[in-house]
Amino acid sequence: MDNLKKEVKVDSQEEIEKNDENENEEKNIKEILDIVKSNYYQYYERSQNIDNKNGFFIAFHGAVLLLLVNPEKVNNILNMQFQNIGQALKYSSIVLLDFIILILAIISICLFIYSLKSRNIKYIPTTICEEIYYKSKNIDLNKELLKSYKQIAEYNEKIIDKKHTLYNYASIITLIEIVLIGINLIIQMI
């Protein structure tokens, strides 16, 4: 009888430990799921921020292109009569800088647009809403969500890194372009 009591106590103690382990595992999964969800939303926000900045810079480049490809300005430069070598050098450097700025603007616009085109960020699969997930006792929804979020996060991280890289290259080219525009304006004022 005494042995039976010990076995029952050991069995009940093992059950309590198993329940505690299951509760801890479930708690850990929920915490990890919250962290992964937070990262998921951060990826989405980062992508939106980059897209908004790209739109601004594309509009800026549209204005630059409008100023550079002004037919009246091009016609005036082509019809200019040079009186000395200094004047010829000045206007040829202006034309050269305009041409370089034009090329840089086109490259920059292409990079910004390409960054916008890489919008194929993954979202939570809609299959998670299917009946088998919420009616089945064998499938733990939190674990399935965690797996989905992990796959999505790994994929989205690559996409966001690509968008950032393209954006950074285009921004550097834009900065060079702005410096050249300033130099060009200074030369024109001389």
Which value, in Å, is the radius of gyration of the alpha carbons in the chain? 31
pLDDT of residue 35: 76
Instruction: Say if CB 140 and CB 74 are below 8 A apart.
Output: no
Tens digits of residue pLDDT in 114-145: 888 866 666 665 555 555 555 555 556 677 77
Q: What total number of domains does the chain contain?
A: 1
d(CA 65, CA 52): 20
**Domain region containing 121:** 2-189
Instruction: Say if CB 142 and CB 26 are below 8 A apart.
Output: yes
- Which of 178, 46, 61, 182 has the alpha carbon at shortest distance from 111? 61
Percent of the chain whose pLDDT exceeds 70: 71
Q: What is the pTM of this model?
A: 0.69
d(CA 26, CA 150): 17
Instruction: Say if CB 104 and CB 169 are below 8 A apart.
Output: no
Tens digits of residue pLDDT in 78-119: 777 778 888 888 888 888 998 899 999 999 999 999 888 866
pLDDT of residue 13: 63
